[in-house]
Amino acid sequence: MGDHKGIPHAADRLLAAIDRVGSPVCVGIDPVLERLPVALRPAGRSPEHGAAAIRAFSLGVLDAVAEVVPCVKLQSACFERFGSHGVEALGQVLEEARHRNLQVILDAKRGDISLSAQHYASAVFGDEPGGPAPDWVTVNSYFGADGIRPFLRPGTGVFALVRTSNPGGDVVQGSRLADGRSVAELVAGLVASIGGDYLGTGGYSALGAVVGATRPDEAGALRALMPNQILLVPGFGAQGGDADSVRPCFAADGRGAIVSAGRSVIYAFEPDQPDWIDAITAAAMALADQVAAVTANPRGTYTPGCEPRSSPSALEGEKQL
C-alpha cells in the first residue's frame, strides 16, 4: 500500500480535505489529445508522445485546481491507452496530486474475485510503502462482497458502482425485483451492509458509492439506504447534472457526498487560449461555489464535525437478484 500520511482512514481524510477547502467537489481529469490546448498537442502519434502530452496537461490541471478543490479523479483509461508510457504518466500525475495535498480517486472500475481481485488491488494501491497510490478506487459491484473487500485495505477507500449516470445503465440498475426494489437499491443495501465494517471516526465508511448526478429522482432513496456512505456523484455539468439534481445526495447536515465534474472544468478554454490554466481555475471555482451553495455552506466556511450514524441493518433479500 502506498504511504497515506495524516488521518489513516480514507473517509476521514476525504472529509478533512473537504473541510479544508469548504466545498465537496472533485475535478475529473480525463485527458483526450484532441481536446488539449494547441500548444500541448504532440507532433507525433506515438504512445510516448501521447503520454507526454496528457501528462503535461494533467499537471497543468493540478496547478489550476489545487487551491480550489479537495479532490481529483484520474480516469485510468485515458492514460492506459498509451500503454506503459501512459501508466508511467498516470503514476507521475498521481504522485504530483498527492504532493499538492489533493485526495485522489483512481477511476478504474476494477472488478474480479479471489486472487485476481487481490492482484488488481495490489496494482492499484501497491505493495511497496512510499510509492504513489490513490486514496480511493472505483470498483464494479457485480461480484458482490467478493469483488469489493480485497480493495478495502487499511487506509484505502472504495467507491462501488450503485447507480451510474449513463442511460444504458437503466436496463440493469432500474429493473425491479419481486419485492419492488430496484437492482440499484439492492446493490445499495449490499454496499451499506459491507461498509458497516469499515467506519471511520466521522461516521462514514471507507466503502462509498457512485450515484450519478442525473438520477435525482432516485438519489434520495439511495441516500437513505446508505447513511454511512460517502456518495461520489459524477455527471455534474457536461452530462446534465446541476445543483438541484445533486441536492438529494447530501445528508441533512450538508455532508456525505462529493460532486465530480470533468469536461465542464478541464476543457473550459478555447483551444488556442494561452491562459488555459486560468480558465480551468475559474471553472473549478464556479463548480465549487455552485455545490457549496447546495450544502448551505458558502465556500470557505464548511462546518466540520459529524455525529456517527448507526450502522445499517444486514442486507435482506440478496438472493432475489
Q: Three cell numbers at 117?
A: 481481485
Query: For strand 103-110 and strand 136-139, is the pairing parallel, antiparallel, or unpaired?
Result: parallel
Whether residue 73 lies in the annotated active site: no
- The single residue of 5, 73, 109, 319 carrying the catalytic annotation is 109
- Rounded distance between C-alpha atoms, residue 149 and residue 28, angstroms: 25
Q: Which of 141, 250, 137, 139 minimizes the C-alpha distance to 187?
A: 141
- Rounded distance between C-alpha atoms, residue 187 and residue 182, angstroms: 9
Cell 465549487 locates to 288
Cell 432500474 locates to 174
Phi-psi category of residue 300: left, alpha or beta, with phi > 0 → left and psi -120 to 50 → alpha: left
| Helix/strand/coil percentages in the chain, nearest 5 | 45, 15, 40
CA 264 to chain centre: 16
Catalytic residues, which ones?
109
